[in-house]
Amino acid sequence: MKLGINARRLAGQRLGIGRYIEYLLRYWNKTASSCDSFHLYLQKPLVHNDLHLSEAFKVQILQPGLTGFLWENFVLPREAKESDVLFCPSYTMPLAYRGRCVVATHSVNEVQSGTHPWWYRFTYTPWYRLSAQKADRVIVPSQSTKSDLQRTYGIPADKIDVVPEGADDAFRPVEDQALLRQTRERYFGSDRPYILFVGKLSERRNIPILMAAFSRVKKRHRIPHGLLLVGPNHLGLPLAQLAKDLDIQDSFVQTDGKFGTHQEIVPIYSAADLYVYPSSYDGFSLTLVEAMACGLPVITTNRAAIAEIAAGHAMQVDEPTVDALSEAIARVLLDHELKEDLRAKSLKRARSFRLEDTARRTLEILRQVARD
């Protein structure tokens, strides 16, 4: 099978989808048949050429670079036309492509009001909808996303495959106490406990509400904790001013989370006391799965796919409000028995979301489409 892959999201900082592609490739590199060949099509050279792929993987930088839309629709189809199947792991496919194609749709964010600007429905939504309609198969990470895809884009159920995403085996509790202490000192200057959030600081992640809830718990219960946000502030939220207004500037740190390899974040998870993910909507959350795999007690919402992942193995709030989050944070941090119970539940639940399952099932679908 000649598998073409739109791998342009591998270049630059690898956030959710970039890591999703990276993880799939690492697994396929170990398990692919000798009859398989993988052609990775990129718009730009890799910043971190750390994949160490075998000769079965051919990396091709397609020129001219152009913008994402133009490159995908006018440059990519020319090179990918000989593929038995083209895998497009980031919502979209070349709309004029005539070969077999599988698209991965990770969420349908526009079903939740306030998650995107008004123009999103006139730009990305039509492109995502047409891609899902045109593809031979659509891979989604949750039942929630499948329902959203059927209802919002009109995609028939028998065309959609649910393949939950999973954490790499590197994500497990770190037992090295010296490393954990060094991690806490690196971000806060001292060995102080902290509450953690990992991910892009998107509007739907309710970061200002999380900061306000943290401030309230600090003032009411005098906890020694800091609040660490790991992820790019791509919306330009006024974090410094918010921290000052909430009087938490000496307990608050935000970093863009640029690492040589994503596995470097494992000690950051393990060194935390609590993981809080106050998202209003997600089609899936890989960082939530990673936090659980590292044995963190979790507070999150009872919304969409987040509820599927947590499934009674985390403390869940119905609405991400300051009142609900501050009450939940205080309960977990002040109740040692509850905290340890949530740790055990996280580890148990994380076993249901493993990378090898994601990669194996995805490759099975691609092979099936190529055969059909």
What is the tens place of the pLDDT at every residue in 151-161?
999 999 999 99
Residue 80 is predicted with a pLDDT of 92
Contact criterion met (CB below 8 Å) for 85 and 93? no
The model's pTM: 0.90
Instruction: Give the mean pLDDT of 108-136.
Output: 80
What kind and span of H or E run contains 254? Answer: strand 252-255
Residue 107 and residue 282: Cα distance in Å, rounded? Answer: 6
Residue 180 is predicted with a pLDDT of 98
Average pLDDT, the chain: 93
Residue 239 and residue 315: Cα distance in Å, rounded? Answer: 26
Residue 49 is predicted with a pLDDT of 65
Nearest 10 degrees: Cα torsion 361, 362, 363, 369: 110
Whether residue 122 is predicted with pLDDT greater than 80 in this model: the reply is no
Q: Tens digit of pLDDT for each residue in 5-62?
A: 999 988 877 777 888 999 899 999 988 777 889 999 999 887 666 778 888 999 999 9
Name the 3-class secondary structure at 140: strand
Residue 120 is predicted with a pLDDT of 65
Q: Tens digit of pLDDT for each residue in 46-99?
A: 766 677 888 899 999 998 877 888 999 999 999 999 999 999 999 999 998 999
Instruction: Give the mean pLDDT of 218-247.
Output: 96
Banded model confidence at residue 110, pLDDT cuts 50, 70, 90 = confident
Whether residue 277 is predicted with pLDDT greater than 70 in this model: the reply is yes
Whether residue 123 is predicted with pLDDT greater than 80 in this model: the reply is no
The amino acid that residue 352 corresponds to is S
Name the 3-class secondary structure at 102: strand
Instruction: Describe the strand order of the beta sheet including 160-162 as a list of residue ranges.
Output: 57-61, 37-42, 2-6, 85-88, 101-104, 137-140, 160-162
More confident position, 243 or 123: 243
Separation in Å, CA 313 to CA 72, 184, 245, 270:
40, 26, 34, 18
Instruction: Give the mean pLDDT of 268-274.
Output: 98
Residue 126 and residue 144: Cα distance in Å, rounded? Answer: 20
Contact criterion met (CB below 8 Å) for 64 and 75? yes
Domains in the chain, start-ordered, CATH in brackets? 2-166+355-371 (3.40.50.2000), 177-350 (3.40.50.2000)
Residue 217 is predicted with a pLDDT of 98
The residue with tokens 């249901």 is 352
Instruction: Give the mean pLDDT of 116-126.
Output: 71
Residue 24 and residue 27: Cα distance in Å, rounded? Answer: 5
Residue 319 and residue 369: Cα distance in Å, rounded? Answer: 40
Whether residue 117 is predicted with pLDDT greater than 80 in this model: the reply is no
